[in-house]
Amino acid sequence: MPIKKDGSGKRWVEMELIVPGSPEQVWQAIATGNGNSAWFTKTRIDEYVGGKIAFDFGAMGGSSGEITHFEPPARFEYVEREWSEGAPPIATEITVTARSGDRCVVRMVHSLFSTTDDWDDQMEGFEGGWPGFFEVLKIYLGHFAGEKASCFMAMAATKEPEGKLWDRLTDALDLTAANVGEERTTASDPESFSGVVERIQQERTQRYLLLRLTSPAPGIAFIGTCAIGDGANVSMSLFFYGDDAGARAAASETRWREWFARTFA
């Protein structure tokens, strides 16, 4: 969807999805630190207007902002003033609307005021980057809603074509030719997981696979590749659930970071 504009200088992108769960369950997932850490990235959220929101992307850095509206379980807003060097502040609004059948509509809008198109590429990047994580959100709400969560991301930047990199990634993990609904077990290096393939998405510039883990612990593995400039990035976000989620994530993180560095150097 293209960037929308109006005569006042406002520019925005918006996304909408239907997720399982009650408004309260969905709010917990999008407006609390533990909730965001269950499907997106390590996050701190002060649950009040004027509080801080901070996203930790590991080796990719982070981003922080101020909460400007906090209305459980319906509307959550925050503004990031230093999201990109030299850019005007960007505001994010997330609303939750109940639907029949224990479902909700989540609508997310990123907007800023600018008289130029200098930051349009970055805003379009938001639109392209969210769908995979939204699929993780749906799985989390459908199977693990409200559970303690911990996550990390491991990644590597390469000069390889994105399609070739995807083939190398899925081959290394024993996930070549995986199909939705299959039960698959990954390679033993650096550690083996078993689970159900929930989604596979393959587009011109990016591909990803979501594996809902059943062994050795409940979780979700989100692995993918994305074309960046004249090369491509390869990454995995791993989410664990349950009382021992933090310990499991801590034990796995170093292994996977070293594996990505070694395999895709």
Q: What pLDDT digit, counting tens, does each position of 181-233 carry?
A: 999 999 999 999 999 999 999 998 999 999 999 999 999 999 999 999 899 99
The domain segmentation of the chain, as residue ranges, is 4-143, 149-263
Q: Is 77 a residue whose pLDDT tops 90? A: yes
pLDDT of residue 196: 98
Distance of CA 174 to the CA centre of its chain: 23
- What are the phi and psi torsion angles at 192 (to 5°)? -95, 140
pLDDT level of residue 146 (50, 70, 90 thresholds): very high
CATH topology match: 4-143 vs 149-263: yes
Q: What pLDDT digit, counting tens, does each position of 17-75 carry?
A: 999 999 999 999 999 999 999 999 999 999 999 999 999 988 778 889 999 999 999 99
pLDDT of residue 4: 86
| Segment holding 194, helix H or strand E | strand 194-202
Q: How many whole angstroms separate alpha carbon 257 and alpha carbon 245?
A: 18
Instruction: Output helix, strand, coil percentages for the chain, rounded to the nearest 5.
Output: 25, 40, 30
- CATH architecture of the domain 149-263 equals 2-Layer Sandwich (3.30)
**The one-letter amino acid at 259:** W
Q: How many whole angstroms separate alpha carbon 78 and alpha carbon 110?
A: 10
The whole model's pTM is what?
A: 0.93
Q: What pLDDT digit, counting tens, does each position of 88-125 carry?
A: 899 999 999 999 999 999 999 999 888 777 777 777 77
Q: Does domain 4-143 bear CATH number 3.30.530.20?
A: yes
123: left (phi over 0), alpha (psi -120 to 50) or beta: alpha
Q: Measure the CA angle with vertex 131, ends 217 and 154; round to 5°.
A: 50
What is the average per-residue pLDDT within 240-251? 96
Which residues does 113 contact at the CB level (< 8 Å), separation at least 6?
8, 9, 10, 11, 88
pLDDT of residue 1: 54
